[in-house]
Amino acid sequence: MQKTAITAAEIAPVLANRWSPRAYDVNHTISQHELLSILEAGRWAPSANNAQPWRYSLATRGSELHGKILSALIGFNQSWAPTASALLVISMVNQKADGTPNTSALLDVGLTAQNMSIQAEELGLSAHMMAGFVHESMRAVLELADNLDPVLVISIGKRADASVLEGPAYEREIAPRTRFELDEIVLHGKP
C-alpha cells in the first residue's frame, strides 16, 4: 500500500512516501547492515550544542528483549507491534553535565527519530513511532540509569498488506494520510 503525500509543493520522494504503518511482514528478518544503517542515520542527527542526548535500546523480533519491550507497550500498540522486525527504544539524557535539566533533549530525540525513520524508508523498510508505553515499566525493562528517560519506541520492518490487521488497527492502516493545510499552521510570513 502506497500513501504518497499530496503536497502544495514538491518534496523529496523519501519524505512524501514515508508514513507509519502498523502492518508488518512477520516473515521479514531485518539485516545487521540495515540496523547499522538506521542507527548511523540517528547518530548523525543534529543536536543542541552537539550534546547527542539520545541512547538506543535495540531488540529484534524473537529476542527476549523484544518481548520485554512489547510488555511495556500500551494495549493497542501491543496488538500490532509484535510483527515488527525490530523495536528500538530511544531514551534521553535528562540532565546536562552540570546537573541542570536538559531542556532541549526532547527536540534532539525527535530529530534522531526522524533521521531513523527516513533512513528506514530509504532502505525500503517502514518505521512507526510510538509514545504509547508505560514509562516506568520501560525504564525497568531496560534497566535505565536515573539520568535516562525512555521517550519513544520505533517499530521497524517490511510493510505488509493491511489485511493482516483487524479492528481499529486495520481501520487506521487503510485511512488516508491527512495533515493540516499550510494556511492553518503558517502563522506569519505566508509563502
Over its length of 191 residues, how does the chain's per-residue pLDDT go in tens digits? 788 888 888 888 888 888 788 999 999 999 999 999 999 999 999 999 999 999 999 999 999 999 999 999 998 899 999 999 999 999 999 999 899 999 999 999 999 999 999 999 999 999 999 999 999 999 999 999 999 999 999 999 999 998 998 888 889 888 988 899 998 989 988 77
Domain ranges in the chain are 19-161
The continuous run of DSSP H or E covering 103 comes out as none
Q: What CATH number was assigned to the domain covering residues 19-161?
A: 3.40.109.10
Closest CA to 35 of 64, 14, 12, 56: 56
**Residue 11: per-residue pLDDT:** 83
Neighbours of 81 (CB within 10 A): 24
**Residue 29: per-residue pLDDT:** 97
pTM: 0.93
Q: Which residues, 6 or more positions from 124, have their beta carbon under 8 angstroms from its beta carbon?
A: 158
The whole-angstrom separation of Cα 19 and Cα 137 is: 28
**Residue 3: per-residue pLDDT:** 84
